[in-house]
Structure 1
Amino acid sequence: MPKGRIEHVNLTVSDIERSADLFRELLGWQQRWRGMAQRGGETIHVGEADTYLALYTDGKDHAGQQKGKPMNHVGLLVDDLDAAEQMVVAAGLEPFGHDDYEPGRRFYFFDWDGIEFEVVCYG
């Protein structure tokens, strides 16, 4: 039986610099690649060796995208939930939905474009 994992998620955002900076700070990620997108616009890949977020912008304002159309949220695993929450707040974003159930503690936040993220810590 084949095995697999998510290699990347491609997200449309209004400001790729701002979004890339958030994930570099929040998750300790690096910029893996940057360039023009196939059909116009620009993309930054930010992540680790095997996984990343492809942040795409076409120069339009995507603030207030409707949650759940079609994606509900992106889950991010961190080793220090409290420090992660402080970074989210420092970025001017509002954590909510704090909870603690298996497999770990978590909170949620919406980025500037209305994309929801779940931040979870197993430890």
Structure 2
Amino acid sequence: MNAYVEHVNLTVKNLESTVLFISTAMPEFQVRHQGTDTKRWCHIGTDSSYLAIQEREPKSKPHVVRTPYFDVGVNHIGLVVDNVEEVAQRLTVAGYRKNMERREAFRKRIYFYDDDGIEWEFIEYLTRNPQQRNHYEAT
């Protein structure tokens, strides 16, 4: 068996807001399970992989604001999709902010922010060839 990423676990401010963002971008992702322990949480994805989303734990100290690419933590999450233009259309219509777009020989990439300021990268591969998928053009 080849190893693969089964899930990513994220802490967010508002569970419904993040579930709406993900289901808007990728309607094929379904809520697999959700619940509440010390906070509300949800697993959304497919049968083989998912995003584990939870609201923040109750805490008496103020939460620290993190600056992506400067502070330690998740910078963005990359998800493969069939068509980046369709994802961009759905997210734009829903009012989400696009950060940037990259076009390369063998892939298209777009980046959007959700309501928590988490950056999401959506990748459309234009080939099935692994060497071409993993080719990085000089920028």
TM-score of the aligned structures, taking structure 1 as reference length:
0.84
- Name the structure, 1 or 2, with higher relative contact order (CA <8 Å, separation 6+): 1
Name the CA distance, whole Å, in 2 between partners of 1:78 and 1:3.
Answer: 21
Q: What's the Cα RMSD here?
A: 2.3
Give the 5 Å matches for 1:23-62.
23-27=22-26, 28-37=28-37, 40-58=38-56
Matched, 1:78 2:78: no
The CA deviation at 1:96 is 2.6
Matched, 1:115 2:118: yes
Amino acid aligned to 2:67? Q
Q: Which residue of 2 aligns with 1:16?
A: 15
Aligned residue pairs: how many?
A: 120
Q: Which has the larger radius of gyration?
A: 2
Could you list the per-position Cα deviations for residues 2-39 of structure 1 after superposition, in whole angstroms to 9, with x for gaps in the alignment? 631111101111111121122123112100010124xx
TM-score of the aligned structures, taking structure 2 as reference length:
0.76
Amino acid aligned to 2:68? K
Does the Cα contact within 8 Å between 2:21 and 2:114 map onto a contact in 1? no
What is the identity percentage for the equivalent residue pairs of Structure 1 and Structure 2? 30
Name the CA distance, whole Å, in 1 between partners of 2:57 and 2:90.
Answer: 26
The CA deviation at 1:66 is 2.2
Does the Cα contact within 8 Å between 2:99 and 2:113 map onto a contact in 1? no
Unpaired segments of 5 or more residues in structure 2? 127-139
Could you list the per-position Cα deviations for residues 42-75 of structure 1 after superposition, in whole angstroms to 9, with x for gaps in the alignment? 111000001000110037797x642133112100
What secondary structure, in the 3-state scheme, does the structure 2 residue paired with 1:49 have?
A: coil
Amino acid aligned to 2:9? N
Amino acid aligned to 2:29? W
The CA deviation at 1:91 is 2.6
